[in-house]
Structure 1
Amino acid sequence: MEQISQVLALEQTAQVLGKEPIVPFAILLVVILVIPILFERLRLPGLVGLVFSGIVLGPSGWNLFHTQSPMISLLSDIGLIYLMFVAGLEVDLERFQQRKKRSLGFASFTFIVPLTTGILVGRFFGFGWNTSILIGSLLGSYTLLAYPIINRLGVVNNEAVTITIGATLFTDIGALLILAVCVAASHIGAFSLVKLITLLSWLTLYSIVILVGFDWAGKEFFRRSGDDEGNKFLFVLLAVFLAALGAQFIGIEKIVGAFLAGLAVNEAVGEGPVKEKVVFIGSVLFIPIFFVDLGLLIDVPTFVQSIGVLKLTLFIVVGLLASKLIAALLAKLIYRYNWQEMLTMWSLSIPQVGTTLAATLVGYRAELLPLEVFNSIIVLMLVTSTLGPLITSQIAVALPTSVVAQTASLTLSEQKLKTTPSDFSIVVSVNNPQTQQYLVEMAALLARQANGRIIPLAIATAVAHMDAPQLEVSMQRSERLLAKATVLSRKLGIQAEPLLRIDDAFAPGISRAAREQKASLIVMGWGKRTGLRARLFGNVIDSVLWASHCPVAVTRLVESPKKIQRILVPVENLTTSTLQPVQLAQMLAEANQAQVTVLNVCDRRTSSSKIAAKRSQLALLVSKLALPNPPEIQIIAHENVAQAILQAARLYDLVVFPFTRHRTSSGGLAINDVTTQLASQLTCSIIMLAEPQRTQTPTLLTGVPNSTAAV
């Protein structure tokens, strides 16, 4: 009786959920928020948890959600389009251009070999040629889930890694083209050579219109829109859905149009706040719902009870792993990579998430892929998304960081960075009276060390009319803040040139004033970045970081900078960009007769010889600064970078580190910002130094902004 009552209760709950759409949507939000966090605590990808949630909530589990729910279908379709658009938007075209011939070579290997394998598996299990070819194309693409790992290890610039990243462009395009042809063939019925040529002609014309037309329209619209991020964001969304509609109009799948739209606006959007907002909305809402919907479609009883499905799944998983390994081996033999590089290429090309899942769902809905193949591909995704990053973290540790080659190629101006330029100027934002004193003190210490000047800056936000009372009140407040900053600067013995600026908002006012004053550095106070509004729309700091032409020092000072005696500089990658935080820390140290320690955290499995090599490489890199008092070099082997830095920081008064943003994978569900995590847990003073988005060479202490760094 108890079991019967439980079943009846579940049925009643399902009826309530079916009548009230807002209830299942609320449940979806809870799942999206909680489940990925729980699975990541278990060291499993968050997307695995979302698919598992779909299985539990769907017909194979509690039957709370139905696959035919109009709301879930709509949100899932948006997530599907969004997933492929983000895949195109996050293609690293610049990295692809660096090694495009070898990227094309590896793409051919890692696409053709799995394609052939998939066709053979499909034919072996009795599927038709159309279905078998589609299965093969699903195995050809891959998703760079392990990009954050190789970025943390500092091996992104390794040639084998670079061509693996670049090859994703070809594999994604290849998979989508085959999908478009296979689905079109199933719709047309009798498929002839004439129909194939006609379809390819329409597809070629459509691709040219999207790639050329949308690229031109995007650049023109962005140029004319100025700083209006809202209109830019809406333009990007409009481009996505227009491309999807255009694809359906000529008879191909809408995900092909979404991917092409991502490629088309890639350059126009660039690495800026608009791209961050577009990716954020998709990664926190629509794409997760797509993964939950995939779980709803999985028929667990059929999968478990059928020996044939288990056999098919085993063949597909083993075939994918073996074919990707063969492709990496061919690249090793032809391009003469070592075994670590080959295995890294293999592990990076294993995960089957973004394009694979999108094409699988389209093929299943078009009745090209039977349910057993759909289930097998989902299992393939679960296995490869877990196995690939795990192998990468084990193998990529042994890859060389190439820091010696990088430092050897430094230009003369980079090797002889001056610490006392005559025109060194610092713009200090003094709009917050609570942080004003310590900010001015820190800027004064830096300016005194460099024989420069400071520019206290206050922004009065503009309104419709220049004689509005609100503007008058804002200007009076700004004048009082500037007067206080001027008095403080005079006491510190530093030349101050206060500047009052009327602008539309704080962020553009700061970045524009800094550019007009040819500032060498911008100093700002730390602001909250944890709220939903800050994450979605960004704050003043985010906007300044994206727009500034010079480095930005975002500070949170718990005591006077004049009391700082011990400074820690954690460096993630041994590259020339490491010089910027070290330079800043050394200037503060010389002003206070303090000691600087440069810290690098490596993987716990790193051998003692590799640690010694890292220490030598880091010392060589720092020696390029020709500092009078070289900093102490410290290497720590630890499994958790953030925890290692937090433990080490207990002995220091100040931590200076770069403000970094980690790129997401094309199917990523979250943007991990280790910098924000550290800033929220550190109890000492911190300085986060952000370089300009287009900086090519270090410019912090040269006194003259690099022309290539101007935005």
Structure 2
Amino acid sequence: MSFLYVLAVEPASEVLTKEPIVPFVILLIVILVVPIIFERLQLPGLVGLLLAGVLLGPNVLNLFQTEQPTIRLLSNIGLVYLMFVAGLEVDMEQFRQTRNKSLGFGTFTFLVPLIVGTLVGRIFGFGWNASILIGSLFASHTLLAYPIISRLGVINNEAVTVTIGATIFTDIGALLVLAVCVAIHAGEFTALGLTTLLGSLFLYSAAVLIGFDWAGKEFFRRSGDEEGKQFLFVLLAVFLAAVGAQLIGVEKIVGAFLAGLAVNDVVGEGPVKEKVVFVGSVLFIPIFFVDLGLLINIPAFVASISNIWLTLAIVIGLISSKFIAAFLAKLMYRYNWLETLTMWSLSIPQVGATLAATLVGYRAGLLNEGMLNSVIVLMLVTATLGPLLTNRVAVGLMTSTVSVTPDASKPLYLDTTDTEKPLTVVVPVYNPDTEQYLIEMAALIARQAQGRLVPLAIATTRPAHMDAPQLESAMAKADALLDKATALSHDLGVTAESVLRIDDAIALGITRASREQNANLIVMGWGKRTGFRARLFGNVIDSVLWASHCPVAVTRLLESPTKIQRILVPVQNFTPEALRPLRFALLLATAIGAQVTLLNVCDRRIKPSSIAWNKSNIELLLSKLALPQAPVVEVVPHENVAQAITTAAKNYDLVILRSIQRRTSAGGLAISDLTSQLVAQLSGSIVLLGEPQKSNAAVIREQFLQRSNRTKLER
């Protein structure tokens, strides 16, 4: 009753101020519902979060104030997380391949926009310090179109790799300029003070990049596969780096970005990175964008837009300066126009570092409200224009990527001609309804490769409860499943060696038994990803995909594999890894006498002559591989890849897809990949072929053992 009385007497804003849990609950509702609504309307979820902040802020409903302790804390965490994810998403391996050229283009795309932005600031009456900060906002860029170039298969193009590598230089340079400008604005600043700051920043950066990298590798090596501890270590690293940056007098986002670069190699592409990025993407980073919306004053925003010249100068200055930088790279490195335009389009979007630096400059008093509003418009324009241009121009680079790579002619993982050991297929059986089709699929592959089949059943229990009645029941059920699997295998003419394993977790039992059996392939039944817990902690299939040492075929079979006559294999790029599902399909097709079609979806604007040329190149590539039979090649022009594959799949009995982990934009918001779209849309039989993901701990242990062995040999 007292709570109802308070609600009746006191304004809602005062209640929200007194109860910190209430704004947190409202924020959870907003970040859960609003992006879904806007994505249904074909609008970016970021826009919805910004508008939600405007509505909840002091200028409309007045439910939230940006200075509320809860909002301030969560927004600061989101700001730090945003820059950490930006550093974490940089592909260090690609950067190392083109480091010198990335430095060259990074210099161009940093200095030219910095000069143009500074001139814009001076023209509109800003002081030198604020103008240089505005220039630094132009200098960075966000790889928002990474999923597009990944889907088109042009990541290995040198111009694309150089642009990706340049992100490191532009973001670090922009953050350094921000640190210096904010420090100068904070008080009287002398040459000695500037020298001291730069020296401290250099030592601090070296300590983070080298120290955190070493500490991370040692911790991951010693902690083994304990993902919980590794997750906490990464969180400690990012916030410790943020606090360290503030101690030397620079902004915490500088430390967060450096921490992302430092632990980049440590976390790799493993499950720890997926969980770290996931927590930021679904919780903290969206709250940061809501808080950014709280700062937008609608009357002032409209007034700044009505005074359009500043906004136009910022947008045009950014786009033109990025084009000049790409053109200079064209002259220096002799890129063609398609590569130049791709570099330009990739460097246009301004989201992560730009928004973070703008908010810091605004809170420090360097930038006014009009500049904040103009930068928000800049973000909306460039975040839309950049990916659209990339999708239009990068498709032309595909013609140069259809070629035989040095590794393309080597036997792939289902070709056992390079080893004396027979192919071993492990089939976990746990669902009587899907067991028959699973065993048939695995038996056909094993028989065709003259290998062996290992039906596997897992009975779970706690280590200290080996006499539990539940374990007895689980073992009896497992024995029944294994007996049925052995009988089915015998009918199909394949030798089966059943294995019953007692373990404390199903996924660990599967991966451990597969390793013990030296399996070449794991065939599993479908498991739907549902619920918050499944997304955060992963289900059995996710865990097996991450931990397995060999490929995993996740199947959803609506009919017996022996009845399959037509198999469709969509392939976007033609690397050895991308062609592995084709090898799997051909091995299965040879066993049952089916026909395999390789489908490549190209841009609908490509001329018919170019389509025919691409098709002939693909057929030439396939003719040079040791394939058991030649697949039919189809090249289909379409504006929507997922829709084209879904339409074509209606005429086939089975679709085989390659499982690729989801990437996120540098803003941290998840972007669904092509495979996840297809899984949701396809209604027929599917095989999702996942490649083994070597764990970070395993990589670090291997490196440690190699160093130890070298040391012993030297001694």
Does structure 2 retain, via aligned residues, the 8 Å contact 1:407–1:621?
Answer: no
Q: For residue 648 of structure 1, what is the aligned residue in structure 2? A: 648
Aligned pairs (5 A) from 1:239-638: 239-306=237-304, 310-407=308-405, 410=408, 412-413=410-411, 417=415, 423-465=422-464, 467-469=466-468, 470-638=470-638
Does structure 2 retain, via aligned residues, the 8 Å contact 1:565–1:593?
Answer: yes
Is the deviation greater in 141-150 or in 298-307?
298-307
Residue 225 of structure 1 pairs with residue 242 of structure 2:
no
| Secondary structure at the counterpart of residue 578 of structure 2 | helix
Q: 2:417, 2:643 → 1: CA distance?
A: 33
| Secondary structure at the counterpart of residue 400 of structure 1 | helix
| Secondary structure at the counterpart of residue 524 of structure 2 | strand
Does structure 1 retain, via aligned residues, the 8 Å contact 2:151–2:674?
Answer: no
Go from structure 1 to structure 2 and tell me whether the alpha carbon gap of 1:416 and 1:19 turns closer, same or farther (over 3 Å shift).
Answer: closer
The superposition leaves residues 664-695 of structure 1 with CA deviations (integer Å, 9 ceiling, x where unpaired) of: 12113123043233223322211011122369
The residue identity in structure 1 corresponding to 2:455 is P
Q: For residue 108 of structure 1, what is the aligned residue in structure 2? A: 107
The superposition leaves residues 93-136 of structure 1 with CA deviations (integer Å, 9 ceiling, x where unpaired) of: 00101111110100000000011111111122222222111111
The superposition leaves residues 313-351 of structure 1 with CA deviations (integer Å, 9 ceiling, x where unpaired) of: 221111111110100000011111111111111111011
Go from structure 1 to structure 2 and tell me whether the alpha carbon gap of 1:613 and 1:254 turns closer, same or farther (over 3 Å shift).
Answer: same
Q: For residue 692 of structure 1, what is the aligned residue in structure 2? A: 692
Q: 1:123, 1:420 → 2: CA distance?
A: 67
Flag as ranges the 4+ runs of structure 1 deviating above 6 A. Answer: none
Q: For residue 24 of structure 2, what is the aligned residue in structure 1? A: 25
The residue identity in structure 1 corresponding to 2:515 is R
Q: 2:673, 2:603 → 1: CA distance?
A: 19
Q: 2:100, 2:504 → 1: CA distance?
A: 47
Q: 1:605, 1:541 → 2: CA distance?
A: 39
Residue 513 of structure 1 deviates from its aligned partner by 2.3
- Can you give the 5+ residue segments of structure 2 that lack an aligned partner in the other structure? 1-7, 696-705, 707-715
Q: 2:409, 2:417 → 1: CA distance?
A: 17
| Secondary structure at the counterpart of residue 425 of structure 2 | strand
Does structure 1 retain, via aligned residues, the 8 Å contact 2:304–2:374?
Answer: no
Q: For residue 155 of structure 1, what is the aligned residue in structure 2? A: 154
Is the deviation greater in 90-99 or in 399-408?
399-408
Does structure 2 retain, via aligned residues, the 8 Å contact 1:501–1:509?
Answer: yes
Residue 668 of structure 1 pairs with residue 658 of structure 2:
no
Residue 613 of structure 1 deviates from its aligned partner by 2.4
Q: 1:441, 1:24 → 2: CA distance?
A: 54
Go from structure 1 to structure 2 and tell me whether the alpha carbon gap of 1:471 and 1:213 turns closer, same or farther (over 3 Å shift).
Answer: farther
Q: 1:222, 1:487 → 2: CA distance?
A: 44
Go from structure 1 to structure 2 and tell me whether the alpha carbon gap of 1:214 and 1:550 turns closer, same or farther (over 3 Å shift).
Answer: same
Does structure 2 retain, via aligned residues, the 8 Å contact 1:520–1:551?
Answer: yes
Q: For residue 5 of structure 2, what is the aligned residue in structure 1? A: none
| Secondary structure at the counterpart of residue 576 of structure 1 | coil
Q: For residue 701 of structure 1, what is the aligned residue in structure 2? A: none
Does structure 2 retain, via aligned residues, the 8 Å contact 1:155–1:401?
Answer: no
Does structure 2 retain, via aligned residues, the 8 Å contact 1:44–1:386?
Answer: no
The residue identity in structure 2 corresponding to 1:395 is V
Does structure 2 retain, via aligned residues, the 8 Å contact 1:158–1:400?
Answer: no
The superposition leaves residues 621-675 of structure 1 with CA deviations (integer Å, 9 ceiling, x where unpaired) of: 3323343531111122222222222221112111111111232121131230432
Does structure 2 retain, via aligned residues, the 8 Å contact 1:416–1:624?
Answer: no
Q: 1:246, 1:407 → 2: CA distance?
A: 45
Residue 396 of structure 1 deviates from its aligned partner by 1.2
| Secondary structure at the counterpart of residue 667 of structure 1 | coil
Q: 1:418, 1:468 → 2: CA distance?
A: 42
Q: 2:571, 2:635 → 1: CA distance?
A: 10
Aligned pairs (5 A) from 1:68-87: 68-87=67-86
Go from structure 1 to structure 2 and tell me whether the alpha carbon gap of 1:412 and 1:419 turns closer, same or farther (over 3 Å shift).
Answer: closer
Residue 227 of structure 1 deviates from its aligned partner by 2.1
Is the deviation greater in 107-116 or in 312-321?
312-321
Residue 85 of structure 1 deviates from its aligned partner by 0.8
Q: 2:152, 2:304 → 1: CA distance?
A: 43
Q: 1:520, 1:417 → 2: CA distance?
A: 10
Go from structure 1 to structure 2 and tell me whether the alpha carbon gap of 1:416 and 1:24 turns closer, same or farther (over 3 Å shift).
Answer: closer
Residue 412 of structure 1 deviates from its aligned partner by 4.9
Does structure 2 retain, via aligned residues, the 8 Å contact 1:57–1:63?
Answer: yes
Aligned pairs (5 A) from 1:109-128: 109-128=108-127
Does structure 2 retain, via aligned residues, the 8 Å contact 1:579–1:622?
Answer: no
The residue identity in structure 2 corresponding to 1:463 is R
The superposition leaves residues 336-384 of structure 1 with CA deviations (integer Å, 9 ceiling, x where unpaired) of: 1111111111111011000111111111111121222212111111111
Q: 1:60, 1:621 → 2: CA distance?
A: 62
Go from structure 1 to structure 2 and tell me whether the alpha carbon gap of 1:92 and 1:401 turns closer, same or farther (over 3 Å shift).
Answer: farther
| Secondary structure at the counterpart of residue 553 of structure 2 | strand
| Secondary structure at the counterpart of residue 606 of structure 2 | coil
Does structure 2 retain, via aligned residues, the 8 Å contact 1:401–1:574?
Answer: no
Q: 1:621, 1:61 → 2: CA distance?
A: 61
Does structure 2 retain, via aligned residues, the 8 Å contact 1:574–1:617?
Answer: no
Q: 1:306, 1:282 → 2: CA distance?
A: 32
Is the deviation greater in 167-176 or in 363-372?
363-372
The residue identity in structure 2 corresponding to 1:73 is R
Does structure 2 retain, via aligned residues, the 8 Å contact 1:420–1:451?
Answer: no
Is the deviation greater in 74-83 or in 51-60?
51-60
| Secondary structure at the counterpart of residue 577 of structure 1 | coil
The residue identity in structure 2 corresponding to 1:456 is P
The superposition leaves residues 428-449 of structure 1 with CA deviations (integer Å, 9 ceiling, x where unpaired) of: 1113333222111111101111
Go from structure 1 to structure 2 and tell me whether the alpha carbon gap of 1:218 and 1:384 turns closer, same or farther (over 3 Å shift).
Answer: same
Does structure 2 retain, via aligned residues, the 8 Å contact 1:145–1:668?
Answer: no
- Can you give the 5+ residue segments of structure 1 that lack an aligned partner in the other structure? 1-8, 696-707
Residue 237 of structure 1 deviates from its aligned partner by 1.1
| Secondary structure at the counterpart of residue 528 of structure 1 | coil
Q: 1:181, 1:256 → 2: CA distance?
A: 11
Does structure 1 retain, via aligned residues, the 8 Å contact 2:438–2:524?
Answer: yes
Q: 1:119, 1:341 → 2: CA distance?
A: 28
Is the deviation greater in 43-52 or in 583-592?
43-52
Is the deviation greater in 482-491 or in 317-326?
482-491
Q: For residue 55 of structure 1, what is the aligned residue in structure 2? A: 54
Does structure 1 retain, via aligned residues, the 8 Å contact 2:157–2:401?
Answer: no
Does structure 1 retain, via aligned residues, the 8 Å contact 2:663–2:670?
Answer: no
Go from structure 1 to structure 2 and tell me whether the alpha carbon gap of 1:606 and 1:25 turns closer, same or farther (over 3 Å shift).
Answer: farther
Is the deviation greater in 298-307 or in 511-520?
298-307
Does structure 2 retain, via aligned residues, the 8 Å contact 1:354–1:666?
Answer: yes
| Secondary structure at the counterpart of residue 399 of structure 1 | helix
Go from structure 1 to structure 2 and tell me whether the alpha carbon gap of 1:687 and 1:33 turns closer, same or farther (over 3 Å shift).
Answer: same
Q: 1:234, 1:694 → 2: CA distance?
A: 20
Is the deviation greater in 156-165 or in 598-607?
598-607
Q: For residue 703 of structure 1, what is the aligned residue in structure 2? A: none
The residue identity in structure 1 corresponding to 2:125 is G
Report the aligned-residue RMSD. 2.4
Q: For residue 88 of structure 1, what is the aligned residue in structure 2? A: 87
The residue identity in structure 1 corresponding to 2:373 is N
| Secondary structure at the counterpart of residue 121 of structure 1 | helix
Q: 1:366, 1:85 → 2: CA distance?
A: 21
| Secondary structure at the counterpart of residue 460 of structure 1 | strand
Q: For residue 713 of structure 2, what is the aligned residue in structure 1? A: none
Go from structure 1 to structure 2 and tell me whether the alpha carbon gap of 1:472 and 1:325 turns closer, same or farther (over 3 Å shift).
Answer: same
Does structure 2 retain, via aligned residues, the 8 Å contact 1:415–1:625?
Answer: no
Q: 2:628, 2:98 → 1: CA distance?
A: 40
Does structure 2 retain, via aligned residues, the 8 Å contact 1:87–1:666?
Answer: yes
